[in-house]
Structures are given as structure tokens and as C-alpha cells.
Amino acid sequence: KLYVCGLLPTILREELIREFGPYGKLQEVWVAKKPPGFAFVEFVNARDAERVVHELDGAKILGSKVRIEFAKANKGPDEYP
């Protein structure tokens, strides 16, 4: 699972699916609304996620420069907030 931050507050889940989908099969995409500006993108294959971190971290995506890194383990019972 990847943590993506620096996103525009108006970003839509569908836009992220279009941006990250070409890198591999997506398991889940969750976009924060309150506060906005970040998302979690999970790939089925960890190698696809590694490629995204390598190629897109610091890139401009949908109008904003983003930071992409592997998400830290969630301590709560739910997979997504």
C-alpha cells in the first residue's frame, strides 16, 4: 500500500485510478476528504508499487507535485480510515 500526499484537495478517486492503473492491477484506492490532500493506493503486486515509488515520487500528478512512499502499518482494526 502506498501513501500519496501533496494532492490537490479536489482530487477524485477515479482520477487516481486512471493515473496509477497503467502501473499494475489496483487492489484499492482511498482518497482523504477531511483533511484532503492525500490518498492510499494499494496494488495487487508489490513490484508494481515499488515501480511507482521509484518512477513517480516527486513527479507532478494532476496538477500537483506529489510525494509517494510505502504506507506504514495501520494499527487500527480497519484496513482504510
User: Which architecture characterizes domain 2-70 according to CATH?
Assistant: 2-Layer Sandwich (3.30)
Contact 7, 61 (CB under 8 A): yes
pLDDT tens for 14-62 read 999 999 999 999 999 999 999 999 999 999 999 999 999 999 999 999 8
pLDDT band at 74 (very low <50, low <70, confident <90, very high): low
Model pLDDT, residue 67: 98
Higher pLDDT, 10 or 73: 10
Phi-psi category of 62—alpha, beta or left, where left has phi over 0 and alpha has psi -120 to 50? left
Model pLDDT, residue 73: 77
pLDDT band at 79 (very low <50, low <70, confident <90, very high): low
- Taking the C-alpha atoms of residue 81 and residue 79, their distance in angstroms, rounded to an integer, is 7
Higher pLDDT, 79 or 72: 72
Tally of CB atoms within 10 A around 1: 18
- The residues pairing with 60 across neighbouring beta strands, listed in sequence order, are 65
Whole-prediction pTM = 0.87
